[in-house]
Amino acid sequence: MMMIKITQPNGEDRFFENYHQVCDYINGIERRRESESGTKKAWSGTKKAWSFVRRQHETLRHLYYGTPLLKDILTQKEKEAVEKEMWLLEIVKGNREHVTQLLVTNRFDVEPLKRDWCNDYFLDCGLSLSEWFMKKT
C-alpha cells in the first residue's frame, strides 16, 4: 500500500493513500486562498494559481448549450470535449495564463499527471512531499 506524506507549514504531517487525495487537498488550499482575496498568502508567499481539475463533458455541454453567452468564452479544447463527449483535464501550474487542457476518457490513468503536478506544487512552495510503499502483513 502506498502512503504519501506532506509536511504542512506548521510542522504537522498529513498522510494520504493516493495522489487523488493529495490533489483534492491542494485544490482545497487554493480555493480557500482565492476566496480570502489575498488577505493571507499561499504557502509559497506568492499569488500563484494552481489547480488540477477533471471536467465532465456533460458539465461543459450544459455551459455550451445552456448559456449562450458562454459559448464564445469556452476554449477550443472545451468545445472539442463537448463535441467528442470526452472529459477535459485542466492543469494550472502556478500561472492561470498557462493552462494545459487535455481530452481524456474516464478510463485514462491521470495518476502520473497528478503525481507530477503535486510534486511541482510542493517544489514551488518550498515544501517536501514523500511517498513510500508499505508491505501488507
Q: Which long-range contacts (CB under 8 A, 24 or more apart) does 32-40 make?
A: none
Residue 45 or 86, more confident? 86
**pLDDT, tens digit, for every residue of 90-108?**
999 988 888 999 999 878 8
For residue 57, the enclosing domain spans 2-133
- What the block records as the C-alpha cell of 92 is 494550472
Higher per-residue pLDDT: 16 or 105 = 16
CA distance 121 to 101: 18
How large is the average pLDDT for residues 12-32? 91
- Averaged pLDDT for residues 46-64: 82
User: How far from the centroid of its chain's Cα atoms is residue 134's Cα?
Assistant: 26
- Provide the pLDDT for residue 137: 65
Res. 47 pLDDT band, cuts 50 70 90: low
User: For the chain, how many structural domains are there in total?
Assistant: 1
Contacts 24+ apart (CB under 8 A), 77-81: 77/101, 77/102, 77/103, 81/55, 81/57
SS3 (DSSP) at 75? coil
